[in-house]
Amino acid sequence: MRKTLLRALLLASVSCGASAQPDLNGLWFPAFGQGGGQTPNPLPFTDYGKKQADDYLAAFAVEDDPGGWCVSPGLPRSIWGAPFPVEIIQTESFINMFWEGYFQYRKIYMEGHPRPDPILHTGMGYSVGHWEGETLVVETSYLREYPYMRRLPNTDAATLVERITVATRTDADGVSNRFLTNVLTLTDDRLYTQPVTVTGTLAYSPTTPIMEYSCSEGIYDQHLQERGLQVPVFE
Query: 1-55, pLDDT tens digit by residue?
Result: 454 444 444 444 444 444 579 999 999 999 987 766 678 889 999 999 999 999 9
How high is the pLDDT of residue 88? 98
Beta carbons of 149 and 53 less than 8 angstroms apart: yes
Q: What is the mean predicted confidence (pLDDT) over 93-115?
A: 97
- Among the listed ranges 47-56, 176-185, 210-219, which one has the minimum average pLDDT value? 210-219
pTM value is: 0.87
Distance CA 226, CA 214 (A): 20
Which of 115, 114, 79, 95 lies closest to 22, judged by CA? 95
